[in-house]
Structure 1
Amino acid sequence: MESVVASAKSFTVDVGTNVQIMCFDSGGDGPPVVILHGLAGSAREFFRTSQALPEFRTICVDLRGHGGSTRHPADLSREAFVADVVRVIEETAACPVALVGQSMGGHTAMLVAAARPDLVTRMVLLEVGADSANPEETEAMGNFFRSWPVPFGNRAAARAYLGEGPLETAWAADLEERDDGLWPRFDPEVMVAALNEVAVPRWSEWESVRVPSLVIYADMGIFTEDEKAEFVRRGRNVRRRDLAGASHDAHLDAFEEWISALRSFLLTDPNDLH
């Protein structure tokens, strides 16, 4: 991961209202791909994905409240997240982009494509729904993050507490080094507030999206088969791909299958997507 970090140019985009968005640009002359992580994640989760797309110029984004972006923004509405991504695209890409997002990042991508279809050529959504959270699940998630015994003394201590799974390993690797130890790059209360916004149904936006979209689901993800089928059915120009043996974080625990699906769609001739 460190070699990927070193090869990407980091920069911030000022989106107004005292909020800055951190981005990592792979550079190059290939078609631009903007990648959006999920709740409590960061752009770093997708550096390996970026490295696996050498034909493209990838821009991995730390969403507001996450990573190197403004940690405690006043506005955590879905509209604010969408406006951030629109600003990033307008300031960094000279043409429309392919949007890739996982979980909350995919939900954001969906809303960007609905609001500004002129900025999006195609879209890949990993483990996304149009109303994918509820208050009980949100509070449970918040309590989990609040329970972390931070600061951790070192990454070994963080791994011992969090576990050795792919997502937990990513969390431990992404901890921020401060004078008193290692801290997560997000605040639990900000995560709860952001996730509560995702719980609001967004079917009208999804049904308005016309850009070619690939929806990828994991067989051990968070959605039921009925929820997956309804989301795909109510889309306008949608293909579906299922990943066997994968979790909600398939970009981490089913990486080869994820990359195969992603690359196949991104490299498909535009004339074959309609």
Structure 2
Amino acid sequence: MSSSSPSWTERVLVRDDVRLTCRDWGGSGPDALLLHGLAGHSGEWDALARLLQDAGHRVVALDQRGHGRSERLPADVSRAAYVADAVAVVEELGLVRPLLIGQSLGGHTALLTAAAHPGLPRALVLVEAGPGEPEPGLPEQIGGWLRAWPVPFPSREAAVAYLGNGRRAVGEGWADGLEERDGGLWPRFDPDVMERSLDENARREFWAEWAAVACPGLVVLGEGGIIGGEQYAEMVRVRPGLHGVGLPGAGHDVHLERPELLGGLILDFLRQQGL
């Protein structure tokens, strides 16, 4: 348990020799499982987790494999491995039909989990995430960006300034995922692992999986994010009951920039769905 976050407890489980850690915020339900994006960490969800907890939810945020305090160098970083980890957390921690919330690649994992296990989620919330389209150069592009970070950062303030790129809340959220060692602040991930985690997304799209999602869905998009208008329109065409909200002024890290608004949107969506 972190002294700065006294409301959650660290849970650790092992699946196929891979250590997975979670922030378990407790509560009596209904349950929610939160999945961060590529190169992220479970602490990105702290503000939203508190809001959901205050609204009566039991909230668990997972450090996905290769991230945070989970296994740093897993051999398997396939989309199926990420999905199996999410299912293992649900089963091991006794979550009952959880609300699945994911941002970016974590949203993609949530989508695939809902598609492969239609009886598992109560509802699905995608934050800046969707079925996507093949992007052949994406892994190398993202890997190059991560390797270009000027690490170690000499101070938290330097990390916030660089990682936020003018967006203070984003910089704070990313800086929270760094670890202090050898006189500086370092990422809790390996760029090669992050690059390999995008291999399948570079090769193919996932529209068949999107069509297989059976639960109610909410999509929250930032301005100028990774989900363009054409892709969102196709998401609605495939699943006409989809709820969507765009947030002008917020970027890709909507959950860091506007957590209160995001929480309100999610709770309103759940009420509208009778969930």
The alignment's TM-score, normalised by the length of structure 2, stands at 0.91
Q: 2:127 is matched by which residue type in structure 1?
A: L
Which has the higher mean CA deviation after the structures are superposed, 188-197 or 84-93?
Answer: 188-197
Conserved 8 A contact 1:36-1:106: yes
Which residue number corresponds to residue 39 of structure 1?
38
Q: 1:58 is matched by which residue type in structure 2?
A: V
Which residue number corresponds to residue 251 of structure 1?
255
| SS across alignment from 2:43 | helix
Deviations 1:29-82 (A, max 9, x none): 121100001111111000110001121010001111110110110001000000
Which residue number corresponds to residue 221 of structure 1?
225
Which residue number corresponds to residue 20 of structure 1?
19
| SS across alignment from 1:106 | helix
CA 1:132/1:103 → structure 2, altered by over 3 Å: closer, same or farther? farther
Query: Mapping of 1:154-173 within 5 angstroms?
Result: 154-162=155-163, 163-165=165-167, 166-173=169-176
Which residue number corresponds to residue 194 of structure 1?
197
- Shift in Å at residue 141 of structure 1? 1.6
Q: 2:125 is matched by which residue type in structure 1?
A: V
Conserved 8 A contact 2:35-2:42: yes
- Shift in Å at residue 135 of structure 1? 2.8
CA 1:94/1:195 → structure 2, altered by over 3 Å: closer, same or farther? closer
Which has the higher mean CA deviation after the structures are superposed, 171-180 or 212-221?
Answer: 171-180
- Shift in Å at residue 155 of structure 1? 1.4
Conserved 8 A contact 2:97-2:122: yes
Conserved 8 A contact 2:82-2:109: yes
Deviations 1:81-130 (A, max 9, x none): 00000000011125211101111111001111111112111111111121
Conserved 8 A contact 2:161-2:171: no
- Shift in Å at residue 230 of structure 1? 0.9
- Shift in Å at residue 3 of structure 1? 6.7
CA RMSD of aligned residues (A): 1.9
The alignment's TM-score, normalised by the length of structure 1, stands at 0.91
- Shift in Å at residue 164 of structure 1? 4.5
Residue identity over aligned pairs, in percent, reads 43
Which residue number corresponds to residue 184 of structure 1?
187
CA 1:133/1:245 → structure 2, altered by over 3 Å: closer, same or farther? farther
Question: In the alignment, is residue 110 of structure 1 matched against residue 114 of structure 2?
Answer: no
2:160 and 2:255 map into 1 onto residues whose CA distance is: 20
| SS across alignment from 1:119 | coil
2:257 and 2:154 map into 1 onto residues whose CA distance is: 26
| SS across alignment from 1:24 | strand
- Shift in Å at residue 202 of structure 1? 1.1
Which residue number corresponds to residue 238 of structure 2?
234
Contiguous gaps of at least 5 residues in structure 2? none
Which residue number corresponds to residue 81 of structure 1?
82
1:254 and 1:230 map into 2 onto residues whose CA distance is: 26
| SS across alignment from 1:247 | coil
Q: 1:185 is matched by which residue type in structure 2?
A: R
| SS across alignment from 1:211 | coil
Q: 2:215 is matched by which residue type in structure 1?
A: V
**Aligned positions, number:** 269
